[in-house]
Amino acid sequence: MFMGLFNHKDINSGVNEWRNTKGAILLDVRTADEYSEYHIDGSMNIPLGNLESIVQIITNKATPLYVHCLSGGRSARAAAFLKGKGYTDVHDIGGISAYKGETV
């Protein structure tokens, strides 16, 4: 009944958690054009359509991955894909549109 309350995605707390997690990667799955407009400093861009390439880029499947997009839809799909590929520490933190920190 109240499960939705515990699954709320908050990019702001997710970014803070990423910054405080050793070896973690902040993964932006927006398009390259969206990423070039603005992004969170230190993030890695692998667009959702190219996410299959992650198995060559991030070979340690225990790497903490904090995944976001623009509004949360693509990050949810990306997180499900990553879990299906065997990544064990995947956090869908939602959309950058709700981010209150600085971007570059």
Predicted confidence pLDDT, tens digits, the chain (104 residues): 344 444 578 999 999 999 999 999 999 999 999 999 999 999 999 999 999 999 999 999 999 999 999 999 999 999 999 999 999 999 999 999 999 999 99
- Residue 54 belongs to a domain: yes
- Residue 25 belongs to a domain: yes
- Residue 73 belongs to a domain: yes
Selection from 54, 50, 48 nearest residue 72 by Cα: 48
- Residue 33 belongs to a domain: yes
Q: Which residue has the tokens 């997180």?
A: 79
- Residue 103 belongs to a domain: no
Query: Into how many domains does the chain fold?
Result: 1
Domain that holds residue 8: 3-98
Q: Contact, 11 vs 99, CB < 8 A?
A: yes
Q: Which residues contact 21 (CB under 8 A, 6 or more apart)?
A: 64, 66
Residue 88: CATH number of its domain: 3.40.250.10
Selection from 41, 89, 30 nearest residue 61 by Cα: 89
- Residue 104 belongs to a domain: no
**For residues 11 and 62, what is the distance between their CA atoms, to the nearest angstrom?**
21
Token pair listed for 79 = 């997180």
Full-model pTM:
0.92
Q: Contact, 26 vs 103, CB < 8 A?
A: no
Residue 100's pLDDT is 97
